[in-house]
């Protein structure tokens, strides 16, 4: 086996750094033969071929699995990963390793024109790493921590290159298509989807928790008045803090898992009630108490408007809510985990997460996306509006994503929800989406910019009667379920999150100048 070294300017493509020729085997060969071949050739995998076609990959991990079982008459076909993903030799190294890291693969066959020409592996990455000075590596943390793995989680994950994300072991979009929000809440909170009896028990537990504690309810009118003109989300920060204080939430460090679970359910159940109460009080309207018969989204719309919503509107909002419960280590989730890692109380972590979510680069974008669609107004104005905005260096709200470099699956689902609802401006939004993606590809050719969840979220929420100032608050009602699952996971296996920064100011120590 030989590995091609990189050029003087550093390796650029998979073809330059892959191991080749690849070590291969056929599916009918015994695993022992493949293992021996790996050992003698010093590689961690064999590519399984049928003629020239790749049909599988057998790796060291598969051998470990095999060793842990009854190794009877094992053939390669039984233990290999069939139809593995492959990569072309001209793909950039960074892209190949993003894919390795994202999928947890250690090896990918390199296939050129249907023929296997090599294998690229984490070992090859290590080979590149060894030629970098150690101090460079120590400081080479990407800006914005992009791609940095900071924890292990069983809650869910996002695969940005594939346009896929999941809650526990289920595709999140499948859950949004088929389940109620309470079922998915149960999945995140309890670790599994409920059966009928579990659903009834969970329902009976959470519905009373929607009520605002009396001492908080008593001060809400004063608070709403004091915060006149404030956004409902800003007021929510204060009231979540108050609920935590009045209900005696102690430091998570001192609590057992059952106490933290109870607090998590309490906060998730009461956040929609608080938001709607604040929204109505600020408009001089009386608070509408939770409706015990209505599901999560229908009750939310009811508390906001005072009317039982049309079922299709409740379902549209519910699907949006399910799709936004969790999404990897986004800024607000990370904030919640950092705060929890200090042992602080659950309400403190949720308040911090609300603050992070409120920013326009995170959860604050949907109302701006709707403003943009409205401002564009008609298809004939779209091109010049979009081109002008991008050329002036503006960010198009509802476009771009840190992780997705393809269609955001939430956006795809919400587009179809918007179509189903025959939502106002849906045709214009579709045209703007198509032209914006084309114009961004033309003006920023080295970026992969697509519409994100916020674009059709704004169209769907608007169609379901949610006012613009309640868009980001509505996002909060579902994301708090994800935050609290992460808070509980962090608390259950905690270590203080305390990274480092690279100091780049004037060299210390310098003499302190005398006082003038």
Looking at the Cβ atoms of 338 and 403, the one nearer to ligand ACO is 403
Q: Which of 264, 265, 278, 390 forms a contact with ligand ACO (CB under 6 A)?
A: 390
Alpha-carbon span 502 to 179, nearest angstrom:
46
Q: Which of 373, 396, 463, 464 forms a contact with ligand ACO (CB under 6 A)?
A: 396
Beta-carbon contacts of residue 489 (< 8 Å; ≥ 6 apart): 153, 154, 155
Binding to ligand ACO by CB under 6 A, coded x per residue (else -) over 193-232, reads ----------------------------------------
Structure tokens that stand for 198 in this block: 């579990």
Q: Is 98 exposed, middle or buried (0-12, 13-18, 19+ CB in 10 A)?
A: middle
Binding to ligand ACO by CB under 6 A, coded x per residue (else -) over 130-169, reads --------------x-------------------------
Alpha-carbon span 238 to 30, nearest angstrom:
65
The interface with ligand ACO within residues 433-452 (CB under 6 A) comprises: 440, 444, 447, 449, 452
Catalytic residue among 107, 327, 454, 486: 454
Alpha-carbon span 186 to 175, nearest angstrom:
12
CB of 359 to ligand ACO, least distance (A): 9
Structure tokens that stand for 295 in this block: 């599901």
Report yes or no: 513 and 395 within 8 Å, Cβ to Cβ.
no
Whether the bond into 21 is cis, omega within 30 of 0: yes
Residue 362 within binding range of ligand ACO, rule CB under 6 A: yes
Looking at the Cβ atoms of 109 and 352, the one nearer to ligand ACO is 352
CB of 455 to ligand ACO, least distance (A): 8
Report yes or no: 41 and 60 within 8 Å, Cβ to Cβ.
no
**C-alpha torsion angle, residues 335, 236, 359, 174 (rounded to 10):** 70
Q: Which of 397, 417, 432, 485 forms a contact with ligand ACO (CB under 6 A)?
A: 397
Alpha-carbon span 167 to 174, nearest angstrom:
10
Q: Is 454 considered catalytic here?
A: yes
CB of 443 to ligand ACO, least distance (A): 8
3-state secondary structure 425-458: CHHHHHHHHHHHHHHHHHHCCCCCCCECHHHHHH
Looking at the Cβ atoms of 86 and 99, the one nearer to ligand ACO is 99
Catalytic residue among 107, 166, 362, 401: 401
Q: 21: which DSSP letter?
A: S
CB of 150 to ligand ACO, least distance (A): 16
Looking at the Cβ atoms of 402 and 488, the one nearer to ligand ACO is 402
CB of 320 to ligand ACO, least distance (A): 11
Please state the φ and ψ torsions of residue 309, each to the nearest 5 degrees: -75, 160
Looking at the Cβ atoms of 16 and 326, the one nearer to ligand ACO is 326
Which range of residues in 176-184, 195-203, 243-251, 389-397 is near ligand ACO by CB under 6 A? Answer: 389-397
User: Among 342, 336, 367, which residue's Cα sits nearest to residue 470?
Assistant: 367
Q: Which of 402, 415, 430, 486 forms a contact with ligand ACO (CB under 6 A)?
A: 402
Looking at the Cβ atoms of 194 and 328, the one nearer to ligand ACO is 328
CA distances from 1 to 37, 125, 288, 324 (A): 11, 16, 72, 47
Strands 45-50 and 24-25: parallel
Looking at the Cβ atoms of 229 and 393, the one nearer to ligand ACO is 393
CA distances from 83 to 108, 122, 231, 311 (A): 11, 20, 51, 43
Structure tokens that stand for 294 in this block: 């209505």
Which range of residues in 111-119, 255-263, 294-302, 356-364 is near ligand ACO by CB under 6 A? Answer: 356-364
Which range of residues in 222-230, 253-261, 398-406, 426-434 is near ligand ACO by CB under 6 A? Answer: 398-406
Q: Which of 11, 454, 483, 491 forms a contact with ligand ACO (CB under 6 A)?
A: 454
Residue 15 CB neighbour total at 10 angstroms: 20
Alpha-carbon span 46 to 79, nearest angstrom:
12
Which range of residues in 105-113, 231-239, 391-399, 422-430 is near ligand ACO by CB under 6 A? Answer: 391-399
Q: Which residue is nearest to ligand ACO (CB)?
A: 400
Number of residues that bind ligand ACO (CB under 6 A): 21
Q: Is 186 considered catalytic here?
A: no
CB of 482 to ligand ACO, least distance (A): 12
Q: Which residues bind ligand ACO (CB under 6 A)?
A: 144, 361-363, 365, 390, 395-402, 440, 444, 447, 449, 452-454
Tell me which residues are annotated as active site.
Answer: 401, 454
């Amino acid at each position: 086996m030989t590995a091609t070294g990189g050029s003087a300017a550093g390796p650029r493509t998979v073809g330059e750094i892959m191991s080749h020729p690849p070590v291969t085997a056929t599916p009918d060969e015994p695993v022992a033969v493949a293992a021996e071949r790996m050992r003698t050739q010093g590689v961690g995998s064999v590519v399984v071929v049928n003629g020239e076609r790749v049909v599988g990959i057998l790796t060291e991990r598969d051998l470990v699995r095999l060793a842990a079982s009854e190794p009877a008459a094992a053939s390669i076909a039984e233990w290999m990963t069939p139809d593995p993903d492959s990569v072309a030799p001209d793909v950039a190294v960074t892209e190949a390793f993003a894919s390795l890291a994202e999928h947890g693969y250690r090896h990918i066959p390199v296939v050129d024109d249907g023929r296997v020409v090599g294998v690229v592996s984490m070992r090859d990455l290590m080979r590149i790493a060894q030629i970098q000075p150690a101090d460079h590596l120590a400081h080479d943390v990407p800006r914005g921590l992009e791609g940095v793995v900071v924890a292990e989680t069983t809650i869910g994950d996002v695969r940005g290159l594939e346009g896929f994300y999941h809650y526990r072991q289920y595709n999140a979009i499948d859950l949004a298509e088929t389940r109620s929000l309470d079922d998915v809440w149960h999945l995140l909170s309890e670790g599994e989807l409920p059966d009928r009896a579990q659903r009834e028990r969970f329902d009976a537990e959470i519905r009373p928790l929607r009520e605002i504690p009396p001492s908080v309810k008593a001060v809400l009118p004063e608070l709403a008045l004091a915060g006149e003109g404030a956004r409902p989300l800003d007021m929510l920060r204060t009231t979540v803090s108050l609920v935590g204080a009045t209900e005696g939430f102690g430091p998570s460090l001192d609590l057992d898992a059952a106490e933290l679970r109870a607090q998590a359910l309490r906060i998730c159940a009461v956040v929609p009630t608080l938001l709607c109460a604040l929204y109505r009080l600020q408009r001089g309207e009386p608070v509408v108490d939770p409706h015990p018969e209505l599901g999560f989204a229908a009750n939310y719309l009811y508390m906001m408007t005072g009317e039982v919503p049309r079922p299709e509107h409740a379902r549209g909002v519910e699907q949006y809510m399910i799709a936004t419960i969790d999404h990897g280590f986004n800024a607000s989730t990370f904030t919640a985990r950092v705060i929890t890692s200090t042992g602080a109380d659950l309400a403190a972590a949720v308040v911090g997460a609300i603050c992070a979510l409120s920013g326009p680069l995170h959860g604050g974008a949907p109302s701006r996306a709707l403003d943009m669609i409205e401002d564009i107004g008609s298809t004939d104005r779209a091109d010049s509006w979009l081109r002008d905005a991008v050329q002036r260096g503006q960010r198009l709200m509802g476009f771009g994503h840190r992780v997705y470099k393809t269609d955001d699956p939430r956006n795809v689902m919400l587009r179809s929800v918007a179509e189903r609802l025959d939502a106002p401006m849906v045709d214009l939004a579709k045209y703007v989406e198509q032209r914006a993606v084309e114009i961004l590809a033309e003006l920023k050719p080295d970026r992969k910019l697509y519409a994100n969840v916020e674009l059709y979220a704004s169209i769907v929420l608007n169609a379901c009667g949610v006012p613009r100032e309640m868009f980001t608050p509505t996002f909060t009602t579902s994301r708090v379920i994800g935050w609290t699952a992460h808070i509980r996971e962090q608390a259950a296996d905690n270590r203080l999150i305390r990274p480092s920064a690279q100091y780049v100011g004037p060299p210390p120590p310098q003499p302190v100048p005398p006082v003038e």
